[in-house]
Amino acid sequence: MAKVTVIGAGSLFFGRQAIWQMVHSPHLNTGTLALVDTDPVRLEKLEKLAKMVVASEGVSLKIEASLDRREVLPGSDFVVLSFAKDTVRYRGLDTVISEKYGIRMCSGDTIGPGGVFRAMRELPKILDCARDVEELCPDAWVINYINPSTVNGMALKRFAPNLKSFGLCDSLHMPHVKRLYAERAGLVAPGEKLTAEQDAKFDLRIAGVNHFTWVLKAEYDGKNVMADIGEAVGRRAATETDGGDKGAKAINNDAIGYKLFQMFDKVPACVAHTKEYVRYWQGHGVTEEEIPELSLWETEARYARHREMWEQIDGFISGATPIGDYMKTFGPDHATDIIENMVGGLGKPFYINTYNDGAVANMADDAYLELLCDVDMNGPKPRPVGDMPRGLRSMQEIVLDTHELTAEAVATGDRALLRRALLVDPLTNSIGDTEALIEDLLDAERDIIPQHWYGGQGSLRAAG
């Protein structure tokens, strides 16, 4: 009879799948799904859709909806944070302004100025939610789905230490990610699932900061298959065409993934973001690269994509698309998959953003990493990984320091720490440009950045 409260239900990358899983799972579909959003039109649509799916499937799942999270938080066992106000617009601003200072971002929501300023927009609201959870449902698990996942996860651990919390990203959704690498290692045919015996023999270990994760070990029945995986990526790179996803996060991913494998002897597990964490495709070299500089986050194309998603929802609500097709259209979501596992005691492992606790032996216990974890109602317990290779480890530590400084700067409103976070960030180039970039972004986003960043402190330069 678990109650799952989703704050930011209008985030369609999560909301639609959450409805699917809550209805589908016998461990969840006798409980409650509470939907929260600040947009009344979107909230009404999602509430109506959820109730239609519940009725169509004949389950007893209770649906609640509110514009005020405090109305539905009491009794919650899980609180999923998935909101982002006008994120397409602001990521566009972050990207365009950063390009002026020689920084190219294809996603703009985790590392670089885009990651820092998204945290400035979202983290204060996350901490507000945390205070409400502490008051109204202090035993609930808080699952953060909002980028930058590491920054926000660190902040919840540090500034809401009494809460039970962890972070998620859908890039390493089990068991799909393990099957993908089994396919690339030649262990299974495309689309084929691993048998239980194959799964047991395939030792796959992925770890790192969220969006900067790497395949650190890949062995099948004791044989190293890392090179097989890397060369499979190379073969895909050789046939990479413009016929697929043309979004900035997708372009040249196989070519970049293969190049990084050649350079570091490890396979990057989240190339769509990792290519933004490294400085190699920022366009600064004097020698022409075979892989072009990063494409920039495409604001208008993202708006169009969101419109299509809402049109799909409208189709179900209007009856233009039979509601009975809903459960055939979508599938499980990472967060609700994990919630089902926790409630049902199913014993499945999942990749979760949490404290290292010795999993990566040569990194600090409180390093906030994405790790394969056993997870039950007591929370995630990371499985052993081994060492992070030298070189990759130093890059991980720089990113962790950037995220740690960002979390502290945003939570405390400290301008000096804000500047330091961006000076440590691997994408920034000079002190002067960094200071000017911060000023430009603060000016451009004055309507959403908390006002204490402007109140009587003068410019960043004057603040010293």
State mean pLDDT over 396-425: 97
Residue 457 has pLDDT above 50, yes or no: no
First CA to last CA across the chain, in angstroms? 54
Select the more confidently predicted residue: 457 or 222.
Answer: 222
Yes or no: say if 284 and 102 are a contact pair by the CB < 8 Å rule: yes
Radius of gyration of the chain (CA): 22
- What tens digit of pLDDT does each residue of 175-187 get? 999 999 999 999 9
For residue 199, the tally of other CB atoms under 10 A from its CB is 15
Residue 207 has pLDDT above 90, yes or no: yes
Q: What is the largest CA-CA distance in the chain?
A: 65
Yes or no: say if 445 and 121 are a contact pair by the CB < 8 Å rule: yes
Residue 290 has pLDDT above 60, yes or no: yes
Residue 444 has pLDDT above 60, yes or no: yes
For the chain, helix, strand, coil in percent to 5 are: 50, 15, 35
Q: How high is the pLDDT of residue 13?
A: 73
415: left (phi over 0), alpha (psi -120 to 50) or beta: alpha
Tokens 């372009």 identify what position? Answer: 251
Yes or no: say if 136 and 305 are a contact pair by the CB < 8 Å rule: no
Strand 164-167 vs strand 141-144: parallel, antiparallel, or unpaired? parallel
Coil vs helix vs strand at 346: coil
CA nearest neighbour of 368 among 213, 187, 242: 213
Per-position DSSP letters for 55-106, written without gaps between them: HHHT---EEEEESSHHHH-TT-SEEEE---TTHHHHHHHHHHHHHHTT---S
pLDDT level of residue 455 (50, 70, 90 thresholds): confident
Mean pLDDT (the chain) is 94
Q: How high is the pLDDT of residue 462?
A: 40
State mean pLDDT over 120-134: 97
State mean pLDDT over 129-150: 97
Residue 460 has pLDDT above 60, yes or no: no
| Cα 437 to chain centroid, rounded | 25
Q: How high is the pLDDT of residue 357?
A: 98
What b/e readout covers 13-27, taking b as 16+ CB neighbours within 10 angstroms? ebbbbbbbbbbbbeb
Residue 243 has pLDDT above 60, yes or no: no
Q: For a pLDDT cut of 90, what percent of the chain falls above it?
A: 89
Q: For a pLDDT cut of 70, what percent of the chain falls above it?
A: 97
Q: How high is the pLDDT of residue 241?
A: 61
Residue 335 has pLDDT above 50, yes or no: yes
- Which token pair is 362? 């040569």
Q: How high is the pLDDT of residue 464?
A: 39
Strand 212-220 vs strand 267-268: parallel, antiparallel, or unpaired? antiparallel
What b/e readout covers 100-138, taking b as 16+ CB neighbours within 10 angstroms? ebebbbbbbbbbbbbbbbbbbbbbbbbbebbeebeebbe
Strand 379-382 vs strand 368-376: parallel, antiparallel, or unpaired? antiparallel
Q: CA 99 to CA 117: how far, in whole Å? A: 15
Yes or no: say if 384 and 359 are a contact pair by the CB < 8 Å rule: yes
pLDDT level of residue 202 (50, 70, 90 thresholds): very high
State mean pLDDT over 370-388: 98
State mean pLDDT over 444-464: 71
Tokens 């495309």 identify what position? Answer: 190
pLDDT level of residue 245 (50, 70, 90 thresholds): low
Q: Amino acid identity, residue 390?
A: R
State mean pLDDT over 428-442: 96
- Positive or negative: CA dihedral 388, 394, 398, 404: positive
pLDDT level of residue 247 (50, 70, 90 thresholds): confident
Q: CA 101 to CA 439: how far, in whole Å? A: 12
Q: CA 9 to CA 18: how far, in whole Å? A: 9
CB proximity list for 155: less than 8 A, separation 6 or greater: 123, 126, 127, 407, 410, 411
- Which token pair is 257? 């993934």
Strand 379-382 vs strand 62-66: parallel, antiparallel, or unpaired? unpaired
Q: CA 224 to CA 218: how far, in whole Å? A: 6
State mean pLDDT over 326-346: 94
pLDDT level of residue 302 (50, 70, 90 thresholds): confident
Q: CA 45 to CA 255: how far, in whole Å? A: 41
- What tens digit of pLDDT does each residue of 248-288 get? 999 999 999 999 999 999 999 999 999 999 999 999 888 87
Q: How high is the pLDDT of residue 459?
A: 40
pLDDT level of residue 387 (50, 70, 90 thresholds): very high
State mean pLDDT over 27-38: 97
Yes or no: say if 149 and 81 are a contact pair by the CB < 8 Å rule: no
- Which token pair is 4? 């799952």
